[in-house]
Structure 1
Amino acid sequence: MKDKILKIVKENTMLIVLVLVVIFFNITTHGTMLLPSQFNALITQNAYVYVLATGMLMCMLTGGNIDLSCGSFVCLVGVLGAKLMVEKGAPTPVGMIAMLAIGVIYGCVLGFVIAYMNIPPWIATLAGFLALRGWGVALMHGASNISPLPENFCGLFTGKMNDLFGGPRIGGVQYNMTSIVIGLIASVIVVFLLVRERATKIKKGYDHDSMAKVIVKSVLICFAIMLFAYKFALAGGVPFALVWVAVIVIIYSFITSKTDIGRYFYTIGGNAEATRLSGIDTKRIMFIAYLNMAILTVVSAWLTMSRFQAANSTAGTNYEMDAISACVVGGVSAYGGSGTVFGMIIGATLIGVINLGMSLMGIDANWQKVVKGVVLLGAVVFEILNNKKKAVK
């Protein structure tokens, strides 16, 4: 029994830490942390972390590789997009397609340099880190920002889903029933997938979780989903930023767990030479990883621009660090070959909760960086110690 409890704790360490951190900040902020407005802020202010961390996950799986240029690229592509939509009067679809095209071009160049010219990723992306922001700021010609962005562009990312079911008004509060319905649908899907996964493993003779574990996991996940749904119902509806994040997370969760190309990312990180000798084009996979990262960076730029309703020279500052931290804290190996989208979500949420909680407490921004640095280091140390214990066994 004791061994089972210890195993569960080890498998869910960061999830437990996340719950404890939320409780701590809720106590220190006198309940402010769990207000509906803060749930909304957690998503809208940190949506870029989830998106960038998803791309960073794919890069890190290939062998602990990272992209240091993504934050600076958010700045540059945002400036170019704003110039098209604000200064040139281009329609929103044209501006977004142009930004996406720029992302594809940059991703192809970066992927080619890293995969086919064998330039170390940290060198190639460090060059981008320095050059792209400088280029973006130079294009602004001394202006602090380029605004206002078109309302239809901002509305795609900063708005909320309208209530389609006419939620009741109780105690002076208007409930958005659409949020509740979406939460219920998501809960049903989660339970169905967990049960089906267990049944599939049993049918194929693989190791599988007990039904009791599946039930407990289902209850906990559904509770978290319905908590967010309830808070969003009180806050006016599900934010569009969450919809973008959810779509990206679902797509990449499927890719990494159900497709051959997703498995190739893991095998390259585990042993690149053995993967190459088995007939897999490792260079192509590396190229795809950085092309994918550039495309997701454009999505992060859209989220950032719409949140501030402008493109500015400071956009994207330290974004790459938040994305890397979210992955490492979420259990993605710093050496590659292991990590999950679900773990990344936990890591990104923990980073977001720390940001939000310390801001509510009025803690200086410099001390916030200290805390995040300690959390990151602690996650890496935990991974190293855990790997040593596995090696001994």
Structure 2
Amino acid sequence: MEVMKSLFRNNIRQYGMILALVLIAVLFQILSNGILLKPLNVTNIIQQYGFILVLAIGMVLVIITGHIDLSVGSVAAFVGAVSAIMMVNYHMPYYLAIVLSLLLGALVGAWQGFWIAYMKIPSFIVTLAGMLLFRGLTMVILDGKSIAPFPKMFQKMSSGFLPDIDGGASIHILTLIVGVFLSIVTVIQELRNRRTQLKYEFEVLPVPLFIAKLIAIVAVINIFTYVLAKYRGIPFILIILFVLVIVYSFVMKKTVMGRHTYALGGNQKAAKLSGVKTERVTFWVFVNMGALAALSGLIYAARLNAATPKAGVNFELDAIAACFIGGASASGGIGTVMGAIIGGLVMAVMNNGMSLIGLGIDWQQGIKGLVLLLAVGFDIYNKNKTA
């Protein structure tokens, strides 16, 4: 029992957010008369909010280092506009335009990272300036008009689906196979992690609870893939998100760069004295944020099938909220990629659910603000309790 209490206490934000996500989904499933979790609507949630989840992955790294980035929405709009000019006006191949757009985003991140890391200007000021600058540039290069349509292959980035092995089946067979494969990989990874924890005498769940945890994880994976299979299968945006989560989770947990990022956010002076090149870490975190903002802008433009001057408005607020709701600390040093994704899903389900039951945008904004305040308040309460 003591082991259970200790594990829950150490992972209270992670477990709390997962529980909150489940409860919110159940609540809106009831209030929407079963519409929320229908296969078509689940796919819509993934496609409509995928670009915010991409931003949240980059934003959580920025927040872990103790900084903030207010410019990501404007950068996303700017890169989307430039990509439209390349593909629509100059008929550049979509794959080349994507690569150049990501490089442009990285350059924007490098520009902002230079002022923050090396010139020591607060990130709030630099990225606020960036928000205004790149919003203005977007309006200038678009001349206040939308540019459309994008090439069909580019649109599939946001609206396409993984093709099935049997095109005539009523259910997407390949999606079900992917679900089984992911279940097997997850179980193997969990067993390996448990063996490692036991080897170093860490606290682990009792065997019955560990088995129950494995059963729950496998059930969630297969139910989710079954729901997707009932519509058109796995959207390409979900594959992009899956790859990003795996790569960034590995970087933050298993690499020197990840450890240095947490060290910088935890205590910058101590990190510097320990040999961490704090300026370089900060610089590359913002380069990464710029590249992911560019990817988010491309996904959004592909979904709209147009580059518009108003694209990216409030993206930064949703991304920041996703990180804080998912367990990142406002003072830096704490946060996970998976937590940011869970926080983003909480926001996405809330937005979609409130729209389904007919709540106006005014109520939606107010409720989201209240949820964000409660999440940060919960973090401060836990810190004071353990201090």
The bucket for the TM-score relative to the shorter chain is: over 0.9
1:15 equivalent in structure 2:
18
Q: CA deviation at 1:331?
A: 0.5
Q: What CA distance in whole angstroms lies between the structure 1 residues aligned with 2:217 and 2:243? A: 18
SS in 2 for 1:207: coil
1:128 aligns with 2:130: yes
- Deviation of 1:220 after TM superposition, in Å, equals 2.3
Q: What TM-score does the superposition give when structure 2 sets the normalisation length?
A: 0.95
Aligned-partner Cα distance in 2 for 1:3–1:356: 38
Q: How big is the shift at 1:154?
A: 0.9
Among 57, 61, 65, the residue aligned to 1:58: 61
Kindly indicate whether residue 24 of structure 2 is the aligned counterpart of residue 28 of structure 1: no
**2:164 aligned residue:** 163
Is the counterpart of residue 262 in structure 1 residue 258 in structure 2? yes
SS in 2 for 1:379: helix
Q: Is the 8 A contact 1:50 1:245 kept in 2?
A: yes
Deviating runs (4+, > 4 A) in structure 1? 165-168
Q: Which residue of 1 aligns with 2:52?
A: 49
CA distance in 1, matches of 2:104, 2:306: 19
Would you say the 8 A contact 2:84–2:307 is kept in 1? yes
Contact 1:167–1:176 (8 Å) recurs in 2: no
Amino acid aligned to 1:367: W
- Code of the aligned partner of 2:46: I
CA contact (8 A) 2:3 2:203 kept: no
Structure 2 contact 3–204 (Cα < 8 Å) conserved? no
User: Are residues 156 and 276 of structure 1, via their aligned partners in 2, closer, same or farther at CA, if it must alter by over 3 Å?
Assistant: same
Matched-pair contact (CA < 8 Å) for 1:18–1:346: yes
1:273-330 Cα distance to aligned partner (Å, 9 max, x none): 0110011101110011100000111111111011111111121111111111111000
Closer/same/farther in 2, CA of residues 15 and 99 from structure 1, 3 Å limit: same
CA distance in 2 between partners of 1:5 and 1:204 (Å): 20
Q: 2:81 is matched with which residue?
A: 79
Distance 2:199 2:166 in 1: 41
1:280 aligns with one of 270, 276, 295: 276
Say yes or no: does 1:375 pair with 2:377.
no
Match of 1:198 in 2: 194
Quick one: which amino acid aligns to residue 261 of structure 1? Answer: M
Q: Which runs of 5+ in 2 are unaligned?
A: none
Instruction: Tell me the TM-score normalized by structure 1.
Output: 0.94
Instruction: Tell me the alpha carbon deviations over residues 35-86 of structure 1, each in whole angstroms, 9 at most, x when there is no partner.
Output: 00111011001101211000001111112x1110000011111111101110
Any idea what the Cα deviations from partners look like across 1:160-213, whole Å, max 9, x if unmatched? 111115674xxxxx1001111111111111111111011012223333333334
Partner in structure 2 of residue 216 of structure 1: 212
- Post-superposition Cα deviations, 1:344-369, rounded to whole Å, max 9, x if no partner, equal 12111100000110111121112111
What CA distance in whole angstroms lies between the structure 1 residues aligned with 2:353 and 2:187?
A: 31
Residue 227 in 1 paired to residue 223 in 2?
A: yes
- Does residue 39 of the first structure (1) align with residue 35 of the second (2)? no
Structure 1 letter corresponding to 2:379: E
Contact 2:3/2:205 (8 A) holds in 1: no
Task: Indicate if the aligned counterparts of 2:144 and 2:309 stay in contact, CA closer than 8 A.
Answer: no
Deviations 1:111-138, CA, capped at 9 Å, x for gaps: 1111000010010000011111111012
The Cα offsets for residues 209-240 of structure 1, whole Å up to 9 and x where unpaired, read as 33334323322222221122011101111000
Range with bigger deviation, 223-232 or 77-86:
223-232
Aligned-partner residue type, residue 321 of structure 2 = S
- Specify the SS of the correspondent of 1:131: helix
Residue 171 of structure 1 aligns with which residue? none
Deviations 1:82-120 (A, max 9, x none): 011101111112211221221121111111111000010
State which drifts further: 90-99 or 289-298. 90-99
Residue type at the aligned position of 2:117: A
Counting aligned pairs with the same residue, the percent is: 39
- Cα drift, residue 6 of structure 1: 9.1
Distance, in Å, in 2 between the alignment partners of 1:222 and 1:120 is 45
Determine if the alignment matches structure 1 residue 356 to structure 2 residue 358.
no
Q: How far apart in 2 are the matches of 1:226 and 1:317?
A: 35
**C-alpha separation in 2, matches of 1:348 and 1:96:** 25
In structure 2, what residue type is equivalent to 1:56? M
Give the aligned CA root-mean-square deviation in angstroms.
1.6
Q: Are 1:298 and 2:294 counterparts?
A: yes
- C-alpha distance in 1, partners of 2:126/2:179? 42
Q: Compare 189-198 and 239-248 and name the one that shifted more.
A: 189-198
In structure 1, C-alpha distance between the alignment counterparts of 2:167 and 2:95, rounded to whole Å:
31
